[in-house]
Structure 1
């Protein structure tokens, strides 16, 4: 089987990039030949992605004289915001991706095209490529783009609804996709996400219980609730020595404001920047509590990675997470959910509710600190692996082929 993967941004540094890298790795194990079209700025080889061929659309170049367009308005690197693109930028974007996509289709001749994000590039690919089955992947940020502005939205809806299949993260997201794109329900398949159990697992490492390490991993941005986490953590009064570890990067004024805010904390806050997955595993295994206070997510991969390393997890009560984890994990004492009060938009609280949310985070942290040594580690995460997810995806592709063969008889 020959599979062409397409992503409009850098295939690294974000959840969708990690998703892409892992299904490529698992498909390689199934002996599928693969190629990749992606947005970047390096004009160089991709690290940790082993495919037959790559086709880079180079931003910050004479052809595209602006940074990579990011699916989030706040990316961990300098990026272009879609809603700020003018007609000239849109035209250059279309032309540059069309050149590389059609070149990849001609040279690689794929059986299937897998497009990440139900957004502008996926719609363009559906417009340009008529005779190859195209599967779209929803990561959540695409839905937020569709709701926040009107850049080519009618065109995107028209093309996305014609995709052959759409992979959703969970049932709640499936309903959102139906509402936004008017897609027939039978086309949408919720598969969740996966984790690499060869990397994320308990190590024979002794924790330093004199310092309780609380860990956050993700973009250092307001949408992730970092400002509320820092304020709640800073106000904690406990007889334990505690440290907040922030792993990831931000960008621009927002990131600078977060750095400045952290300096006022009476409790220790450590910024790690970007770390690779091996280092992340080591940090998790030495830590005690993982926290994700995001106001908006698709389905956070970091939660299952943290659980796999034996961390107590605190997460905001985001749509789709509880049903995805199921009763066994939800009813264990390994995970605590933070109530999110009423919001103005998906990633912004009402002003009067900010103190409520900070108090909710603080209460969850104190409860986890008090019950840290009463955890049930005996939970199975086997169904959440990338291997399991990719096996299901492989079955979907085979079924599409079977139906196509029947139709052609």
Structure 2
């Protein structure tokens, strides 16, 4: 079998990029012949398994004279927002990707094209290669774009239902897809997510056992859409000695202005805050192992890999109770040590109502307090979650 995986953005950054890369690696272990088409810059290094051909589409170039598009409005690298794209920019995008896709499809002759995000590029591929089997992975940010902006909406709504199959991360997401697109139940498969068990695993005794300090970690874009401002304000509601707690923020900036605001909040926090920056997967695993509590106070998520990775490294989790995630985790990791916090009311898909944030931050602080006071983290079994399982399901 020959598979072509496609993404409009960088394949080695953000959750969807990790998802694509790990599926490619798992399929490679199964002996599947593969190639990847991805939107990158000439400075980017694309790390794929040996034997996987990469067909880059270069942004910030003569043919595509603007930064890589981002499915989120705030990406951990310089990016272009879909909401800001003009008709001319959309035309340049279409021409550049179809030129590379034509070459890749002619050479590779894939049996299946796996598209990441139910959005513009996937719609273009469905429209221009009607004889090919085209499957689409939903990553939630694509649904947010459809809900919040008008960019090529009619064209996308017309083409996405023609996909041969759509993979949803969890049941609630599947229902949301059906509200946006006229798609039948039989076209969809709930496929879940995976994690790299070779990297993310417990490696020793937590540092808190040695020095008594509770270490918390957040991993993701450093932005309020991920709840980082609220996390810092919630920490200030705790009443412990300064030396008792440390927070590590692992990830890159989204909006640079907001990032500076977050740094200012961190400077005024009653507990020390460490900005670890963008880190490798192996370094992130080390940080998870050093820490006791993983915190994800996001306003919007599909199915965050970071929760599973941190559980695999023996962390207790405090996170926002977002639609569908708690149910999926309860099914896949029923013994997971997780404390859920009810989110604030929202305006739109990922913008919290300002007047509801104080109550949310109070709930978050209480959950953090409970997580700190609890002694030993419950052991949990994450073996049912794997990229290999997802790869097998894709092939099936």
Q: State if a TM-score over 0.5 links the two structures.
A: yes
In 1, distance between residues paired with 2:92 and 2:199? 40
RMSD (Å) for aligned C-alpha atoms:
1.5
| Structure 1 counterpart of 2:323 | 319
Pairwise CA distance, 1:46: 1.6
Deviations 1:333-381 (A, max 9, x none): 711001013211221111210101111111110010111x13321x221
1:8 aligns with 2:11: no
| Structure 2 counterpart of 1:398 | none
User: Which 5+ residue runs of structure 1 have no aligned equivalent?
Assistant: 396-409
Deviations 1:238-264 (A, max 9, x none): 146100100000142122221222111
Residue pair 2:226, 2:296 contacting (<8 A) in 1 also = yes
- Bigger shift: 20-29 or 344-353? 344-353
For residue 356 of structure 1, the aligned residue among 356, 359, 363 is 359
Pairwise CA distance, 1:204: 2.4
For residue 274 of structure 1, the aligned residue among 271, 278, 283 is 278
- Cα distance change of structure 1 residues 45 and 276 upon mapping to structure 2, 3 Å threshold: closer
For residue 376 of structure 2, the aligned residue among 365, 374, 394 is 374
| 2:162 aligned counterpart, secondary structure | coil
Pairwise CA distance, 1:329: 4.2
- Cα distance change of structure 1 residues 200 and 133 upon mapping to structure 2, 3 Å threshold: same
- Cα distance change of structure 1 residues 367 and 205 upon mapping to structure 2, 3 Å threshold: closer
| 2:118 aligned counterpart, secondary structure | coil
Kindly report which structure 2 residues correspond to 1:105-120, keeping only aligned pairs within 5 A, or say none: 105-120=105-120
In 1, distance between residues paired with 2:75 and 2:321? 23
| 1:382 aligned counterpart, secondary structure | coil
1:383 aligns with 2:384: yes
Residue pair 1:43, 1:58 contacting (<8 A) in 2 also = no
| 1:78 aligned counterpart, secondary structure | coil
Residue pair 2:235, 2:270 contacting (<8 A) in 1 also = no
| Structure 1 counterpart of 2:178 | 178
In 2, distance between residues paired with 1:328 and 1:3? 28
Deviations 1:78-109 (A, max 9, x none): 10000111111111111111101111111111
For residue 295 of structure 2, the aligned residue among 262, 283, 291 is 291
TM-score (norm 2): 0.96
- Bigger shift: 320-329 or 259-268? 320-329
Deviations 1:199-249 (A, max 9, x none): 111112452442211000001112101110011113321146100100000
Residue pair 2:332, 2:384 contacting (<8 A) in 1 also = no
In 2, distance between residues paired with 1:259 and 1:43? 28
For residue 217 of structure 1, the aligned residue among 212, 216, 219 is 219
| 2:174 aligned counterpart, secondary structure | helix
In 2, distance between residues paired with 1:180 and 1:333? 32
In 2, distance between residues paired with 1:328 and 1:367? 24
| Structure 1 counterpart of 2:28 | 28
Pairwise CA distance, 1:42: 2.1
| Structure 2 counterpart of 1:406 | none
Deviations 1:307-328 (A, max 9, x none): 1111000110011112211268
Pairwise CA distance, 1:44: 5.9
Pairwise CA distance, 1:50: 3.8
In 2, distance between residues paired with 1:100 and 1:2? 17
| Structure 1 counterpart of 2:75 | 75
TM-score (norm 1): 0.93
In 2, distance between residues paired with 1:285 and 1:41? 33
Residue pair 1:329, 1:335 contacting (<8 A) in 2 also = no
Residue pair 1:333, 1:375 contacting (<8 A) in 2 also = no
